[in-house]
Amino acid sequence: MQWERWFQEAWDEGVTVSLPQIGDFIPERQPASAHPVEHVFRPPGVRIRFSPQSCASEDFATWLARREGIHVEILTQHLKQEANRLLECLDQEGSARLFHWGTLRRNVEQEVVFDSAGFFCPSPSFGLPVFFCPPLREAVSQTPALQTNKRKPRRFLWIRL
């Protein structure tokens, strides 16, 4: 199955990915930004938030079945298999990598926790990477300096006789 591509497309469209027995992976859109101190431009993108309780308004399997033309029961079964594979990997190795988006691990209370790999740019950002730009300068005022009525102090002239 093409889980990586389907997860990416779901997050591009703002659909929450629900994995049975694991939880929801919720996309949060981030606007483009420029950091004035670090001189970094970040294009618009998505940050993935994890919730162990399933609270998705639309089931991921239903969304995917409508999109790909596959029966919901088959997709649900494959999603459960993928979730079981991740849980087995989590139990055996202590962590499970969810493609390039982050890592699943268990905390002290043995709850599943997702460590996000950070920020990624979805397709609508046209693949713009994070890049450094020159320092941002403030606009220079084009108005002449304020005129004051103060007299210019006289310089003392040394005269040699």
User: Tens-digit pLDDT profile for the chain (161 aa)?
Assistant: 688 888 888 888 888 888 888 889 988 888 878 777 877 777 777 888 888 887 665 678 888 888 888 888 898 898 899 889 998 998 898 889 888 888 889 888 888 888 887 766 655 445 555 555 555 555 555 555 555 566 767 776 667 65
- pLDDT of 4 reads 85
CB-based contacts of 1, cutoff 8 Å, min separation 6: 78, 82
- pLDDT of 157 reads 67
Residue 19, SS3 per DSSP: strand
Q: Where are the beta strands (DSSP E) in the chain?
A: 17-19, 23-30, 33-35, 40-42, 45-51, 95-98, 102-106, 112-116, 119-120, 131-132
Phi-psi region of 62 (alpha: psi -120 to 50; beta: other; left: phi over 0): alpha
Identify whether the C-beta of residue 17 lies closer than 8 Å to the C-beta of residue 60.
Answer: yes
Tokens 């889980």: give the residue.
3
- pLDDT of 137 reads 56
CA distances 42 to 39, 132, 146, 154, Å, are 10, 9, 40, 55
Distance CA 79, CA 88 (A): 14
- pLDDT of 81 reads 92
